[in-house]
Structure 1
Amino acid sequence: MSNKGEINGICEPRFEAVKDAFTRNFNEGMEVGASFAVTINGKYVIDIWGGYKDRERTQPWEKDTICNVYSTAKVPTVLCTMMCVDRGLLDLDEKVAKYWPEFAQNGKENILVRQILSHSSGLSGIEEVIPSSAWYNWNKIISLLAAQKPWWEPGTQSGYHSATHGFLLGELVRRVTGKSLGTFFKEEIAEPLKIDFHIGLAEENVPRVTKLIRDIPIMEYIPLFMGGIFNIAGSSEIVLKEIENLEKTVILDYGDEDQFTVIISNGKIKFNKGKIENPDCSFIVSKERAALMYWIFSSINDEPEYASENLKIEGKSEDIDQIKKLFELIAAEARRLGTVGIKMLLSGRLRDFSGDREWQAAEMPASNGHGNARSVARIASVIACEGELDGIRLLSRETLEKILEEQIFVRDLVMGYPIRWGLGVALPTKKRPRPNPRTCFWGGAGGSAITMDLDAKIGIGYVMNKMRNQTRKETAANKYHSDTRGNRLITAVLESLDLI
């Protein structure tokens, strides 16, 4: 069998270049299985799929194959919220606490609904260190968010609300409709418009799911994050006091030649790339699981069984215990003194459970929606066609235009680059341009994408199962979507329509 298997579906002749780009992604080894769809005026002009559902390439990607799309699910979540705004159930300029009284504590009394939508509320993550399984408990997460203090003055900065966005908006929807966001989406959007997209996956749909396939991590990111954490440790009086009489060497081993050292000596702590002979302690993961090295800071004790399957620790028991205790202290100090991004990394993190049944069944609206390019493009069509699809109006034009109003445009504290936020969607900038100004878009971890062009009435969806990693240089070179595969496809669409 070829790497791409068969490319199936429909593609109008004028978009042959798009199909070629789709095929090229497979031929260059970038894909295992994927789907891509485009609508114009609500009608499909492209709906193609190909490749395989599994890493071994034995199960073909079918027409009805669905996949976890991570943050691409934020767009249907925003759509549900804006429908509540359109119906007068929510007011963008009203305080969240009006609808959710428990929210009015610890400096959040004046946070507005629009600040939740625009990632500017200061609630990018969960402050408390929690096991990943806690994310399946809606009431637990909601109570933590209600009690938490914002990480910055609301409305003055943006910091991508990676997982919390769906819980915050979902709770607002639940408070004013009595329905969970997944139920609201199903009853008010998916069923009337026959959209095969799910927030909280029913058992009957599990056989159609393709699990996400992790790519080999790009090792250039490891020293950036780990180095940042240890730099904070080196400036913490609490950590320095703890290590003033400690002499230890630690190896962080990712396999092959990728090793990093932590040297604790003479009252200082240093993190460097390289090897060292006879370390006191070694933390070892395979390169495929390199991201799990962050467990040395917090999750080892939270989920020891899962950690032991993926993270091997070598050394004398007394050395291991001492280093783990030190790393827990370093994590606490990094959460206290570090950037918003580091706080998210080391606090209540949402681990990759995308193949687990608990993950699939849970409602995590910003993170675990399941669909394919066909369903994502159809969701995009609702917005691209100004709120009406197949004679069913979900949003008034007036409310829809509010989505496109710039809310904040600064360097995002989590993503690390400027994002021009509308209401829950990104808007065009010089770095991420679009040919038509009334365009909005977003994407999900690993590469999935959704684009809505209201001027040309274009909806675009891209869904894949290989979570491809890229260098920063490669990502920066992409114009329309950060992932090279999606960027090629979107570029080919725009060129085929003579928009660029």
Structure 2
Amino acid sequence: MDEIVRDIPINGHCAPEFAAVRDAFVDNFQRRGEIGAAVCVYKDRQKVVDLWGGHKDLARKEPWAEDTIVIQNSLAKSMCAVSMHILIDRGKVDFDAPVADYWPEFAQAGKAGVLIRHILSHTCGVIYCDRATPGSWFRWDEHIKALEQQEPAWVPGTFGAYNSINIGYLLGEVIRRVTGDTPGQFLRKNVTGTLGADYNIGLTPDEIARVSDMHENPKNTFFHISSDASTPLGRAFKSAPQVPYFQNMREIREIEVPSFGGHGNARAMARVYAMLAGDGEIDGVRILSPGAVERTRWLVWERDCIMTRRPLRMGFGFMHNETETVPMGRNMASYGHTGTGGAFAWCDRDRRMSFAYCTNFQREGPGIGARGAVLALAAGGGSKPSWLN
């Protein structure tokens, strides 16, 4: 299917039973201000929706291509979690072991009791990095040293809050200590490269040439909160570079920023999540054992999050279906992740399906935003959020 819809190029294919996804995708361009985007759905390990359209630029001169990639922000957290689940599955890391078993310097400042499971579940308390200097996101050793010196905000394992900045570095340093690979290298070798999924943390020059800029949305509340140093999220953002807008910086593309610096497209993320929906295997390629995948679906905590100011349901590295802010179909056991730019991916293991969406126009509001929500509902059903028109 290649066509022009009111001067908007729409490409790809969509199985007839998922026509509602295509209709919602087109409607996002016509009514909701979409600039460039892609959506992909797998069902029973088969790709049933693969659509892309719109443009890479605000002037709407450069079409979004089949191989266009874009920053997917916090979906990187779930990819670091997949990597850690692989190491646990292989017996290289113990799910219940102290982080300091693999990273001795981490035990400083009251963190000897932080377990691997606490980091994965966003209950470790290491949500701040007070001794980090602005821009240390791009200086791995400096950021890691500051994390070693950081006191936890609560007794590890007793409370949960979204670990917006640090989780990728915490998991990434354990990955590096255990394997010798950076988190981006490990992901390429063991997940995305193995699956042929066009998503990576730390890009090559050829990959950077295919990146679309992420365009600002004044209705994106996440960045409004993070810019206020008096908020918990603002405190966590102390290590951010001192620039007005960091989403399109060269460094965030070239350097591994494992909490939110991954770039890819919907096709790639839907394939990774289809692996989870398929009990760890797709197209004859096994990434995780069925038992390891079962652990990825466990729910750990649910409450209004002090960091994001919205309800969250959190598992071991993954957000769970929350019908008002991150709707993932009619199955409340569905799980995945959102990105503040608007990227959204999840899987429903019971229905053996996965969904992914990415955009170059930041989402609006505190949750996934209208464009991601209508696509997820079209793919997986479920209750419409009260705020969605």
1:48 to 51, 56, 59: 51
Distance 2:374 2:299 in 1: 27
- Cα deviation, residue 220, structure 1: 12
Q: How far 1:37 moved relative to its partner?
A: 0.3
**Deviation of the 1:123 alpha carbon:** 1.4
Cα distance in 1 for residues equivalent to 2:104 and 2:132: 24
Instruction: Work out the CA distance in 2 between the residues paired with 1:34 and 1:142.
Output: 34
Are 2:85 and 2:292, in contact at CA under 8 Å, matched by a contact in 1? yes
1:348 is aligned to 2:348: no
What's the CA shift for 1:29? 4.2
TM (normalized to structure 1)? 0.71
| Cα gap change, 1:417 to 1:213, in 2 (>3 Å) | closer
Q: Does 1:401 align with 2:287?
A: no
Partner in structure 2 of residue 242 of structure 1: none
Q: More helix per residue: 1 or 2?
A: 1
- Is the 8 Å Cα contact of residues 165 and 236 (structure 2) preserved in structure 1? no
Is structure 2 residue 28 aligned with structure 1 residue 25?
yes
CA contact (8 A) 1:157 1:410 kept: no
Q: Counterparts of 1:76 and 1:18 in 2: how far apart (Å)? A: 25
1:146 alignment partner in structure 2: 148
1:38 partner amino acid: V
Counterpart-to-counterpart distance in 2, 1:152 and 1:378 = 37
Write out aligned runs for 1:202-281 (5 A): 202-217=204-219
Q: Which residue of 1 aligns with 2:107?
A: 104
Structure 2 match to 1:61: 64
User: Does the 8 A contact of 1:125 with 1:348 survive in 2?
Assistant: no
Counterpart-to-counterpart distance in 1, 2:194 and 2:185: 13
Flag structure 1 segments of 5+ consecutive residues without an equivalent: 226-290, 295-330, 476-481
Residue 141 and residue 409 in structure 1: after superposition, are their counterparts in 2 closer, same or farther (change >3 A)?
A: same
1:185 to 181, 187, 192: 187
Whole-angstrom CA distance in 1 between matches of 2:57 and 2:322: 37
1:428 CA displacement: 3.1
The Cα shift of 1:439 comes to: 1.6
Structural mapping, 1:76-475, within 5 Å: 76-128=79-131, 130-132=133-135, 134-217=136-219, 334=230, 340-345=232-237, 347-349=238-240, 352-429=245-322, 431=324, 434-470=329-365
Report if the CA contact (8 A) 2:106-2:148 is conserved: yes
Q: CA deviation at 1:3?
A: 6.6
After TM superposition, give the deviation of residue 13 of structure 1 in Å: 1.3
Contact 2:343 2:358 (8 Å CA) reproduced: yes
Distance 1:355 1:340, change over 3 A: closer
Aligned to 1:36: 39
Partner of residue 387, structure 2? none
Name stretches of at least 5 consecutive residues in structure 2 with no aligned partner: 383-389
Judging changes above 3 Å, is the alpha-carbon distance between structure 1 residues 107 and 458 closer, same or farther for their aligned structure 2 residues? Answer: same
Q: Any conservation in 2 of the 1:94–1:112 contact (CA below 8 Å)?
A: yes
Q: Which amino acid aligns with 1:448?
A: A
Question: Which of the two has higher C-alpha Rg?
Answer: 1
Tell me the SS of whatever aligns to 1:198: strand
How many Å separate the matches in 2 of 1:82 and 1:34? Answer: 30
Instruction: State the distance in 2 between where 1:221 and 1:419 align.
Output: 18
CA displacement, residues 182-210 of structure 1 (integer Å, 9 cap, x when unaligned)? 11111112222111111101111122110
- Residues 238-266 of structure 1, C-alpha deviation per residue, up to 9 Å, x if partnerless? xxxxxxxxxxxxxxxxxxxxxxxxxxxxx
**Which amino acid is 2:187 matched to?**
F
Asked if 1 retains the 8 angstrom alpha-carbon contact of 2:322 and 2:332, the reply is no
Shift, 1:359, TM fit: 1.5
Instruction: Quote the offset at 1:420 in angstroms.
Output: 2.1
Specify the SS of the correspondent of 2:236.
helix
Q: Distance in 1 between matches of 2:311 and 2:95?
A: 23
CA shift for structure 1 position 430: 6.2
CA distance in 1, matches of 2:321, 2:32: 30
One-letter identity of the residue aligned with 2:321: P
Counterpart secondary structure, 1:363: coil
| DSSP 3-state at the match of 1:341 | helix
Once residues 183 and 221 of structure 1 are traced to their aligned partners in structure 2, the CA distance between those partners, rounded to angstroms, is 29
Which digits, 9 at most, give the CA deviation of each residue in 1:252-286, with x for residues without a partner?
A: xxxxxxxxxxxxxxxxxxxxxxxxxxxxxxxxxxx
State the distance in 2 between where 1:405 and 1:4 align.
45
Number of residues paired by the alignment? Answer: 375
Change (3 A) 1:102 1:202: same
Residue type of the alignment partner of 1:344 = A
**Identity within the alignment, %:** 35
Residues in 1 aligned to 2:7 and 2:359: alpha-carbon distance in whole angstroms: 12
SS in 1 for 2:275: helix
Distance 1:453 1:357, change over 3 A: same
Given the two structures, how large is their TM-score scaled by the length of structure 2? 0.90
1:36/1:463 contact within 8 Å kept: yes
Provide closer, same or farther for how the CA distance between residues 216 and 410 of structure 1 changes in structure 2, counting only shifts above 3 A.
closer
Q: Secondary structure at the match of 1:343?
A: helix
